[in-house]
Chain A
Amino acid sequence: MNHRTLGSFLIVGAAILVTGCASVGVKPWQRDLLSRQDMQLNGNAIDDAVDDHLYFSKEASSGGRSFAGGGCGCN
């Protein structure tokens, strides 16, 4: 995939997302389930950090969920 094709995909994708996102969602008083700890994207930060450190030291990929990098000389 060349850069022009990739750029077109990104622009079209962003347009679909922006128009699509405006039609979904909830009102502020409908956030009871969303406010639960198990629905927070970083609700288990320590578990994620321990796991990420393990995978960083044993595999060739890391990051994705947030900023990559390990601050570790193990890989």
Chain B
Amino acid sequence: MQLKREEGGVRHRLIAASCALLSASAGRAEEAPNTGIERALSDWSLESALAYYHEDGRVQAIEPVVSVSKAYGDGASIGLNLTFDALSGASPNGASPSRTPQTFASPSGKSFTGGKHSYAIAPGDLPEDPHYSDLRAALGADWTLPLERLLTANFGAKFSYEDDFYSGSVNALLARDFNEKNTTVSFGASYEADSLHPIGGTPVPLTNYALFEKTGDQSKDGTGLLLSLTQVMSRNWLSEVNLSVDRFTGYLNDPYKIISVIDAAGDVRGYVYENRPDSRTRRSVYLDNRVAWERSSAGVSLRYMTDDWGIHSETVQLHLQWWTAERDKYVQPTLRWYRQSAADFYTPWLYTAPDLSSASSDSRLAALQALTYGLKYGIKLRDKLGRESSEFNVRIEYYQQTQENGLPGPGALRGLDLYPDLKAILVQIGFRY
């Protein structure tokens, strides 16, 4: 924080400040970093985590994250973060369960009898590709730069690589303080460009799955705007409201998702590849409130989002934090509730060869509700002089997603579990220095 410059008594204040600095330096002489490496690292902070994610009967993922940042005396800072993801397991392919066995080809397969390039699904089971796997590496950087006493700029960039997907994005944000730095207004813009290289080629939308009609690589890109107001409400209450809008255009399909085509008796007649609109505009309002007490704090965030695909969603997240009397340990329970309506073009199956311009059976576009319960425990570690120097933490989350208002299955599909719940657990250990 920078205080207002005062005209009088500057020399005396400088002398007093110099004396204070010297005495502080003398006091810290014993604890000064001894080696060149310690000196070089003393201005940096590091945060790292290892997360393990496991879905009941589906995918599992392991995700190490490392983030380093350096703060400069003038308010500037730089940060770098590196993330890896290793994902494997079974992923729904979009088709519906059936009373009869179903056989599918993996994305690189060109027939339904290709050994490891095909898989069979037992009657009544949700069709899932059992060989789903992916590796992702992402590198992000950000730079905060004070332009004037009350004006700050922030620039960010992110690159992400997967076998079948490359992504690059940049963003810039200007923040202006008002009202003795109790009010901050920020405005920013972002741009993202993605390149898709689906394994086995890009399926031609809404074509017969059995014909394996594929084309080449695809792309999409998006721009976003963000307007934010942060307000200190009182000594222990901070509030933030964000308005954001973004628009993506290009190839917005999931190239690995298909839709069952069934007859009135509920028997499968075939499958087609999904097709989504080639543009999507989303708007959101996000409100965050933090309240602190002597040994505890609470945070409540609300988000309302809507898009031109017909999806509306509401999210409420609550987290509380309690500290021990020594402020060396804390627990943080979290609860999150989420609900979304279905996309206009969502359909769990089609009755005939498609006469629609857009259709998808991806359950992520269906009406659904989700609950997350979480608990985090942290320990502050102290250095030999008793000061807080680092933190070790562990957290666990349980996520359950339930589809709502699912169409009842006709004929043979009646009685099958057409919309199984998604249950997942996340365990994460973290270290901050």
Partner of B138 from A39, A68, A71, A75 at Cβ < 8 Å: A71
> Could you give 29 example pairs across A and B, Cβ below 8 Å?
A17-B229, A22-B178, A24-B182, A26-B234, A28-B180, A28-B181, A30-B235, A33-B292, A38-B321, A41-B238, A41-B288, A47-B430, A50-B49, A50-B65, A54-B399, A58-B401, A59-B370, A60-B311, A61-B313, A64-B244, A64-B303, A67-B156, A67-B226, A67-B244, A68-B244, A69-B169, A69-B190, A71-B158, A74-B134
Q: How far is the CA of A65 from the CA of B243 in the complex (A)?
A: 9
Q: Is the CB of B238 within 8 A of A64?
A: no
**Interface size of B by Cβ–Cβ distance < 8 Å?**
92
**B399 shortest CB reach to chain A, Å:** 7
Q: How far is the CA of A24 from the CA of B93 in the complex (A)?
A: 53
Identify which of residues 221-235 in chain B touch chain A, using a CB-to-CB cut-off of 8 Å.
Answer: 222, 224, 226, 229-235
Q: Is the CB of B284 within 8 A of A71?
A: no
User: Which chain B residues border A66 with CB–CB below 8 Å?
Assistant: 226, 242
Partner of A72 from B165, B188, B293, B330 at Cβ < 8 Å: B165
Number of residue pairs A-B, CB distance < 8 angstroms: 192
Q: Is the CB of A58 within 8 A of B165?
A: no
Q: Is B162 part of the binding interface, using a Cβ–Cβ cutoff of 8 Å?
A: yes
What residue in chain A is nearest B136 (Cβ atoms)?
Answer: A72
Q: Is the CB of B47 within 8 A of A46?
A: yes
Q: Is B70 part of the binding interface, using a Cβ–Cβ cutoff of 8 Å?
A: no
Q: A28-B3, A68-B244 are in contact. Are A54 and B53 (CB under 8 A)?
A: yes
Q: Is the CB of B224 within 8 A of A75?
A: no
Main secondary structure of the interface of B (DSSP, over half): strand
**A14 shortest CB reach to chain B, Å:** 9
Q: Is the CB of A69 within 8 A of B224?
A: yes
Known contacts A36-B292, A63-B284, A71-B159, then 11 further A-B pairs from the complex at CB < 8 Å, ordered by chain A residue: A41-B288, A46-B430, A49-B81, A49-B83, A50-B63, A58-B401, A58-B424, A64-B286, A71-B167, A72-B160, A73-B196
The 8 A CB mask of A22-40 against B (1 = contact, 0 = none) is: 1011111011111010110
| Nearest 9 CB-CB pairings of A with B | A25-B182, A73-B165, A71-B160, A64-B286, A71-B167, A33-B292, A61-B313, A64-B303, A67-B190
